[in-house]
Chains A and B, each alone.
Chain A
Amino acid sequence: MINFQYARANDVADAVRQIAADPTAKFIAGGTNLIDLMKEDVERPTRLIDITRLPLKTVEETPDGGLSIGALVPNADLAYHPVVEKRYPLLGSAILAGASQQLRNMASTGGNLLQRTRCYYFYDTATPCNKREPGSGCSAINGINRMHAILGASDACIATHPSDMCVALAALEARIHAQGPGGERTIAFADFHRLPGDTPHIDTNLHADEIITAITLPPQGFSANYTYLKLRDRLSYAFALVSVAVGMELDGSTIKHARFALGGVAHKPWRDKAAEAVLNGQAASADNFARAADLLLQGAKGYEHNAFKIDLARRAIVRALTQAARGTPQAQSNKKVL
């Protein structure tokens, strides 16, 4: 870890002023990812601005019937919040599928969005990595790439986004509220994370001088028909090889509307409205689910160690859509996949 200065932000405007004044500063909240990366010399901020005292810790229902989640709400508190448990169980389930309870107690909602990839080469400063050092090359494309992307990757980077929470937020069509020197703006979830392209060092469309203040959810929480199915190398406390978040509206056994997003397969949660649209008005059947899965996975490309993920993802999508349609969401303690 390099030498750095420590400062506290008194309010949101002060936080924005401080970050705008110092291009090598970073905000710190839960610290679970940033401190780890600083110990590895991957992140080298010269100043940490502690935002943990800002008043961004409330979860409240909004006038339009949705939910507003402060950026500093700890992941564990959000997962167990009574309104989330009742109206947005997909979000709670996805959060509880990730990390450990200690980390969920520390990690913030805003920080979860800004997590960096767990690509081994991104962490290993002795190897080239375009995300860590633009232009140095990608070690994963011809290296060990079991955990890497099968969709939306580029010649510069095949890293995946590690978050479980974000896969649920993609399916729920959350919005991100940010404040910068020019004022406030909101960003649709689909526009928040980026594909790597030739700038894999830029993970999101949040500006360097902006702070996330809140995430809002629309009223539809799919609490009757949902699932978060996560497949990984260990039963707990491991990143996804493939995960699927599903929210579905049914009319009897006919699908009115379905949303599904994939985790562990791309630089951002992977969703395609065209794949969802083919289910509208269709029977909730394995054949129809397979058709939707094939559409979502169009253009998938495997590498030496991760080609298995294409078929794994296809099967996981069918299974997850089946779980959601049956109203039997994946349990996050007993991991049996039914």
Chain B
Amino acid sequence: MARTSTATQPPIPAPDKIPVALIVNGVKTQLKVAPWTTLLDALRDHLDLTGTKKGCDHGQCGACTVLVDGRRINSCLTLAVMKDGAKVTTIEGLATNGALHALQQAFIDHDAFQCGYCTPGQICSAAGLIAEGKAKSADEIRELMSGNICRCGAYPNIVAAIQQAMGQS
């Protein structure tokens, strides 16, 4: 079968690792990463913040959702070097002084997960959704959360949990 012909390209010299400054969950962090290191891999493998999950690694499942400068994004499709100077919030950074974030409490109250693998991404995505302020109805929550897949099918409880947290914020 055909393979791409680019195998004939001359070898590219390995690039130097590039320094990146991130403020992760309020903590100034200095990293040196290869250009191809995604923000997801930087968080998990360089900073040991394994709360953010790698699901599909192609932007299709939302498990890797984090907040960058307050906006929800897919960290698997983000190169860490491109976010030099950015503020990153992960699931580990949502609780304050040991008190759960309203969304974390709401997910517990509504039993909004089964296996829990998608949950950090769901909660970070919901935090972004609440900050955006565009979702008012359950239909709008469902639509604007459609980038987060839950293979256990906990969707009705996730919507209920987000509605609870929206009422509090």
Binding site for B on A (CB under 8 A): 1-6, 24, 28, 31-32, 35-36, 38-39, 41-42, 44, 46, 48, 50, 52, 76, 80, 99-103, 105-106, 125-129, 132-133, 136-137, 236-237, 332-334
Determine if A125 and B4 form an interchain contact, defined as CB atoms under 8 angstroms apart: yes
Give the chain B neighbours of A46 by CB distance below 8 A: 9, 12
- CB-defined contacts of A76 to chain B, threshold 8 Å: 132
Pick 12 A–B contacts, CB within 8 A, sort by A.
Answer: A5-B12, A6-B81, A32-B74, A35-B79, A44-B9, A102-B72, A102-B73, A105-B72, A106-B74, A106-B77, A133-B2, A133-B4
Contacts A36-B77, A334-B139 given; does A52 touch B146 at CB 8 Å: no
Question: Once the chains are docked, how many angstroms separate the CA of A304 from the CA of B143?
Answer: 32
Of the candidates B12, B38, B132, the one whose C-beta lies within 8 Å of that of A35 is B38
Residues from chain B with a CB closer than 8 A to the CB of A3 are: 11-12, 14-15, 36
B59-87 vs A, CB cutoff 8 Å, 1 = contact: the mask equals: 10010010000011110011101100000
Asked whether any CB of chain A lies closer than 8 Å to the CB of B129, the reply is yes
Enumerate chain A residues within 8 angstroms of B65, measured Cβ to Cβ.
102
User: In chain B between 124 and 140, which residues have their CB closer than 8 angstroms to a CB of chain A?
Assistant: 125, 128-129, 132, 134, 137, 139-140
B73 CB contact (under 8 Å) in A1, A36, A42, A106: A106
Number of interface residues of B (CB under 8 A): 44
Q: Judging by beta carbons under 8 Å apart, are A103 and B143 in contact?
A: no
How long is the Cα–Cα vector from A80 to B65 in the complex, in angstroms?
21
Cα A166 to Cα B153 in complex, Å, equals: 33
Is there an interface contact between B4 and A132, defined as CB atoms closer than 8 Å?
Answer: yes
Contact assessment for A50 and B82 in the assembled complex, using a CB-CB cutoff below 8 Å = yes
> What is the CA–CA distance of A31 and B74 in the complex, to the nearest angstrom?
10
List 10 extra interface pairs beyond A39-B58, A101-B132, CB under 8 A.
A3-B14, A31-B79, A32-B77, A38-B36, A41-B4, A42-B4, A48-B35, A102-B65, A127-B2, A237-B146
Give bound CA distance, A171 to B104, whole Å: 44
Give A52 to B81 CA distance when docked, in angstroms.
Answer: 12
Q: A32 touches which one: B14, B59, B125, B137 (CB < 8 A)?
A: B59
Residues from chain A with Cβ under 8 Å of B6 in the complex? 2, 44
Q: How far is the CB of A110 from chain B (nearest CB, A)?
A: 16
Contact (Cβ within 8 A) B18 A6: yes
The answer for the CA separation of A21 and B15 in the assembled complex, in Å, is 18
Select from chain A the residue with minimum beta-carbon distance to B76: A35
A39 and B57 contacting across the interface, CB-CB below 8 Å: yes
**Do residues B59 and A103 form an inter-chain contact, with CB atoms below 8 A?**
yes
B147 located at the interface, meaning its Cβ lies under 8 Å from any Cβ of chain A in the complex: yes
Residue of B nearest to A332 (CB): B143
Give the CA-CA distance A28 to B78 in the complex, in Å: 10
**Cross-chain contact of B77 among A35, A44, A127, A137 (Cβ < 8 A):** A35
Asked if B1 is at the interface (CB within 8 A of a chain A CB), the reply is yes
Nearest-CB distance from B17 to chain A (Å)? 11
User: Quick one: closest A residue to B64, CB to CB?
Assistant: A102
CB-CB under 8 A from B58, the residues of chain A are 36, 39
Cβ–Cβ < 8 Å partners of A6 in chain B:
15, 18, 35, 79, 81
Q: Using an 8 Å CB-CB cutoff, how does the interface string of B140-167 with A read, 1 for contact, 0 for none?
A: 1011111110000000000000000000
Give min CB distance, A271 to chain B, whole Å: 28
Closest to A24 in B: B9
Interchain CA distance A32-B42 in the complex, whole Å = 18
Whether the Cβ atoms of B140 and A101 lie closer than 8 Å is no
A104 to chain B, nearest CB (A): 9
Residues of B within 8 A of A133 (CB): 2, 4-5
Contact partner of A237 (CB less than 8 A), chosen from B1, B73, B139, B147, is B147
* CB neighbours of B146 from chain A (8 A): 100, 236-237
Residues from chain B with Cβ under 8 Å of A41 in the complex: 4
Within 8 Å by CB of A333, from B3, B4, B72, B143, lies B143
Closest 9 interchain pairs by CB?
Answer: A100-B147, A6-B35, A236-B146, A333-B143, A237-B146, A136-B2, A333-B140, A333-B139, A44-B6
Our pick among B18, B72, B82, B134 for the contact of A28 (Cβ within 8 Å) is B82
CB distance from A41 to the nearest CB of B (A): 7
**B77 in contact with A4 (CB, 8 Å):** no
Which among B15, B57, B147 has the highest number of chain A CB atoms within 10 Å? B147
Contacts of A129 in B (CB 8 A): 2
Of listed B35, B143, B145, residue having the most chain A CB within 10 A: B143
